[in-house]
């Protein structure tokens, strides 16, 4: 009698899942063991190692000297640097130095890219990252994250200006984030869907927890810092007045982009950080914050916009360029944009009436 293939029992399914590590999953995604597949698998493995090192240090915050508090320095963004920002930034550098694959690292914490000369002859990849996003949450034990983006190096970057990085977000090979919360989660995409892994501390491995995550077309959550209301354009105020007057909306805002984005990715809705009087281009940085998240939400069936342009189409003029961000469910991003378009139409009509 032909072998009857028994349906996998629950125990076997669990075992199979526990054997699906991040590096294995990348190879499965690509259905290939070719050079680039192996590179991406190795790169994601390095990301996972950095995540474990950072998660370990965070778990001891408050118990170990040198984790909490400020360094007393100010970074290129003009922000006070937390000790954890510096530690996490150095973790990524150390982890990728050994990778042999990455020639450059561009970080929120460093004005210029960090070069690893010994890797450059063969390392054709660049890591762009925000080592700790939401560091104001560290000292109060609330969720924070790391955001990463991997791009292929184009050309030899002889002058060390990394001009080839100043390209639109569709050039990204991979993007994702680590969420340091009640559990440590790694969410990533290499352009074949969005997948989440949860760190199993007993194994020291990130184990597959959710595949092909899709953001709902609409959600009740709107996530924005309403304390900036006085600084916003009227169109954004129009959106806020709308959600204040209609049933079915819930405000959620943690002050850490990764956690707020993860909630939107999981439950739908919209996160926005618009331009303000003080920061007309917004606060969030394109190459290692808004573009990686835009890559993910696009892969999850949602959208990311500056309000007037698809976020993934934005071509930066500088490494630390900022963009406004409206990101989440298709319907909710479109709703915010509709208020922007309405105000633009009214302004145009007023101008025409005066001419």
Q: Which residues bind ligand P6P (CB under 6 A)?
A: 133-134, 136, 225, 255-257, 273, 283
Tell the smallest beta-carbon distance from residue 225 to ligand P6P (Å).
3
Q: Which is nearer to ligand P6P, 22 or 264 (CB)?
A: 264
Q: Which is nearer to ligand P6P, 67 or 293 (CB)?
A: 293
Contacts of 49 (CB under 8 A, 6+ apart): 95
Q: What's the token pair of residue 16?
A: 């199979």
Tell the smallest beta-carbon distance from residue 305 to ligand P6P (Å).
16
Pick from 134, 138, 133, 216: which is nearest to 176 by CA? 133
DSSP state of 103: E
Q: Which is nearer to ligand P6P, 57 or 283 (CB)?
A: 283
Q: DSSP string of 20-55?
A: -BHHHHHHHHHT--SHHHHHHHHHHHHHHHHHHHHH
Length of the chain, in residues: 355
Q: Which is nearer to ligand P6P, 136 or 212 (CB)?
A: 136
Q: Which is nearer to ligand P6P, 129 or 273 (CB)?
A: 273
- Which residue(s) pair with 304 in the sheet? 327
Q: How far apart are CA 318 and CA 339, in angstroms?
A: 29
Q: Which is nearer to ligand P6P, 49 or 81 (CB)?
A: 81
Q: How far is CA 183 from CA 70, 167, 201, 207, in A?
A: 25, 34, 9, 12
CA gyration radius, the chain: 21
Tell the smallest beta-carbon distance from residue 347 to ligand P6P (Å).
27
Tell the smallest beta-carbon distance from residue 7 to ligand P6P (Å).
44
Pick from 319, 321, 269: which is nearest to 297 by CA? 269
Tell the smallest beta-carbon distance from residue 109 to ligand P6P (Å).
12
Tell the smallest beta-carbon distance from residue 43 to ligand P6P (Å).
24
């Amino acid at each position: 009698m032909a072998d009857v293939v028994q349906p996998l029992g629950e125990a076997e399914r669990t075992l199979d899942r526990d054997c699906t590590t991040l590096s294995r999953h990348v190879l499965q995604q690509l259905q290939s063991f070719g050079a680039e597949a192996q590179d991406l698998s190795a790169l994601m493995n390095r990301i996972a190692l950095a995540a474990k090192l950072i998660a370990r240090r965070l778990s001891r915050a408050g118990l170990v000297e040198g984790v909490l508090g400020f360094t007393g320095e100010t970074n290129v963004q003009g922000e006070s640097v937390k000790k954890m920002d510096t530690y996490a930034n150095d973790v990524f550098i150390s982890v990728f130095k050994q990778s042999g694959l990455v020639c450059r690292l561009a970080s929120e914490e460093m004005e210029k890219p960090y070069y690893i000369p010994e890797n450059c002859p063969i390392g054709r990849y660049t890591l762009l990252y925000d080592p700790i996003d939401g560091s104001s949450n560290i000292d109060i034990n609330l969720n924070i994250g790391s955001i990463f983006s991997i791009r292929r190096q184009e050309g030899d970057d002889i002058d060390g200006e990394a001009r080839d990085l100043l390209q639109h977000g569709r050039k990204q090979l991979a993007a994702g984030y680590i969420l340091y919360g009640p559990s440590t989660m790694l969410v990533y995409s290499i352009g074949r869907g969005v997948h989440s892994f949860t760190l199993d501390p007993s194994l020291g491995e990130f184990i597959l927890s959710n595949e092909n995550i899709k953001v709902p077309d609409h959600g009740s959550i709107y996530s924005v810092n309403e304390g900036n209301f006085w600084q916003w354009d009227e169109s954004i105020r129009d959106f806020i007045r709308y959600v204040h007057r209609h049933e079915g909306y819930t405000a959620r805002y943690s002050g850490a982009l990764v956690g707020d984005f993860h909630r939107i990715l999981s439950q739908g809705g919209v996160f926005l950080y618009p331009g303000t009087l003080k920061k007309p281009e917004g606060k969030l940085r394109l190459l290692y914050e808004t573009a990686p998240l835009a890559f993910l939400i696009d892969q999850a069936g949602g959208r990311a916009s500056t309000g007037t342009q698809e976020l993934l189409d934005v071509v930066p003029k500088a490494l630390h360029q900022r963009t406004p961000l409206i990101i989440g469910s298709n319907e909710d991003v479109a709703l915010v944009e509709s208020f922007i378009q309405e105000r633009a139409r009214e302004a145009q009509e007023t101008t025409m009436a005066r001419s």
